[in-house]
Structure 1
Amino acid sequence: MREMVMLGRTWLKSLKGQPNLIVWDALLLTPVAFILLIGFIGLYSTSLPGSLISSNFIRQAAWLTFSVLAVWLLRWLHPRFYYAQAYRLYAVLILLLLITYLMPAFSGGKRWLALGPLRLQPAEFGKIIVVFAIARYLTDYQKYLEKFPYALVPLAIAILPAALIIGQPDLGTAIIYLVVAIPMMYWSGISAFYLFVILAPFVSLITGFNYYAFSAWMLVLILVLYFYKSQPRWATVIFAVNALFGTLAPVLWNRLQPYQQRRILTLLDASADPHGAGYQILQSRTAIGSGGVFGKGIGEGTQTHLRFLPVSDTDFIIAVIGEEAGFLAILVILILFSWLLLRMLDRASTTQYRFASLTILGFVTIFLVHVFVNMSMATGLMPVTGLPLPFMSYGGSFLFTCLLLVGVTHYLLAGEP
């Protein structure tokens, strides 16, 4: 509570200053506007037939209005505010995640904070806060990152909230927290060998389900340790840790929820359970394939409007677009996302402000993982994880987070060319 009070005072002090002189970055904001437009067309379609007033389309429009207003208010904050308050924001995030455990369960999990008629999901906007905390640490301890213990801290910053989110349970969002740390660590100059050592246990865990894959991976590990001339003591420790993680794979598998196990098994063969775990993937593939190049027309999608496609306005919004506007529309969406991410990477690589550079790279990673995973699960390349598509999937907290990512990127570099 003390951290929240101090954070509020600091924010109020920031508001006393003059608003930043903003030169709007059209190359950053234009693709966002077009993606939002396409997303709302998709949500409009999923709301038919029925009352538009009480639909998710209107709710999303209300969240868009609120989010744009919130992003506009950020212009009164000094760009250094995010660096200065990164650790306090992180403490507030941990507190909010703990509070969710005291909330009533909703949709099978304790992920939301109820604020009157609104439900906020701290794990969503918490992604931004974790990026701030990691970016500040990598900025402050730049000279010490060549030492392995210091290189581990960014991952620890991500693991703490991720562990709390897994308990909600929300495995898909927790994975985002863990993944976002790795590119930021690489961008900051941490040795590739250190990153290999950090990632190796996760690879051991995945390959541990298959004897031959695990044996081949352990051979690769031995060769890497040999060629990098690791000290025998540390090489033995690294090998032992990876061997342990490999043997833990069956144990962790048994601790997964039954629906999580079914989703992973369905990835191997969706047709094996067409009326159960594989149903969503098969219907999504059918919707996208039936749309052809130009689609069936807005509001004319049979998979969507005959309700064969589940959660069409959230996890599978891209399938709705594919069925009704065709492959051409999906291609346009991919081009727009590429435009947005390349613009953000360009700003991250050219700024001299290290904290901003690392922060924007973290934001790019969040967007990239969401786009890749969502489109992959819609086509059956990955198990259904529940990760929404940025700016397009229905969900107020997520839309708010996405617009904050773009807004903070814009304001962090206010005044730079």
Structure 2
Amino acid sequence: MGAKEEKLVLQGWDHWTATRLRPLRLRQLATASPTVQVQGPHEESKPDHRQRLSLQLPLIPRDTDTLIIQNDTPSDAEWAILGLHFPLIRNLEIHTGYNEDLNDRHIPPHWPLSRLLISSASGTLTQTPFIRQGRVSHLILDHTSGVRFEGPDNQELQRRHKDAIARGEAKPEYITVHKGTPEERKIEVVFLPLLAMAWLDAKYGGSNCSELDPDNTPPTQHEVNLQTLEIVENDALCTFARMTLALPHVVGNTSALHLSSTNGCCEFQKTNEKMFVQFLPQMENLKTLQLSVGEVFRDESHLLGLYRLFPRTLTTLRLRGPAMLTQSDRWKEWEEAFASRTFLPGLRRLSIQMDLCYEDRERDSASWPLKRRTEPPEEMRLAANAACERLGALARSRGVSVEEMQDWGRLRV
């Protein structure tokens, strides 16, 4: 008798990655904020699914404007219950929990959301008009990974892959467990990030690369509201590039942008880093940029010449980077740029700190990420601080206010 076959669907690059790399939520609202625990779409068939959420609601005032959702993303039924009970939610946080899935299509459309935080979602498609139509003014993607803004959802990706296998255009992949024992069986492995990458490659390598997804067309009933965009850690720069590709009119509307990519994670798995280099300077409405970036570029020249990417419209710049950058021969270019009144002519406020340091993991190590954040040697740290002081003095000489940053995890406008 042949081995029994099962299927394993992998949604993220590493299902445990976002959990292992998820630090204390510095940007989470106060613990006293109204909080509910949901079961999520995977538990929707349970007989007590609705009751478990409903029992929590009498403890929360109906007129609250803030709601934190924990444990999972609400199922469609749970969204309906929340929308019926709460009419005035303006600040919403969704912490996706262990499943790292995102079922956001049915966020109640009557909620007057102004701030939306999504935490830890991995390898999934956002479908809410609050994002896809730019209805929310402040969006935070906190330690997400592989979030997509266009194209088929995960179920559709799997269906298309299955059809391609049936047509002989793709081959299934298997792993065998308990080999040579009575319990031996085959498990088909479906790696969704690869299917998502293939879809992106097919679209942007073809003739329809400039066509927007039907759900992403510019709104006609309201203006694009997004003013503040924060993408924090993991593949933050890659996520920014994917979002810009899918929603150029939404991203381009922002006036404050916070990008942080310092934990050495899976940057530029789904987009080429040249896209980030191309898109950032085109942010014509951007006034505030807070950028924390580690050694994430394959092409080192992108990091060494990072100052060239800053939009000329900036009035506030907060920049954190690797200490090694100040030791480069090209640091002189940075000093010359910040000393010139023609460089970022509207700049009024500057914070700069080059204190990040990394070491490579051993090549045969199974650990992830490949680069590990570490403390810089004391000599390097002191030299980097001195270099930042010199650059700050040059900026100060042209009337720029140079300010220290106490918390790089929070956007400071």
Structure-2-length-normalised TM-score: 0.30
Report which structure shows greater RCO (CA 8 Å, sep ≥6).
1
Return the TM-score normalized by structure 1: 0.30
Higher share of residues assigned strand: 2
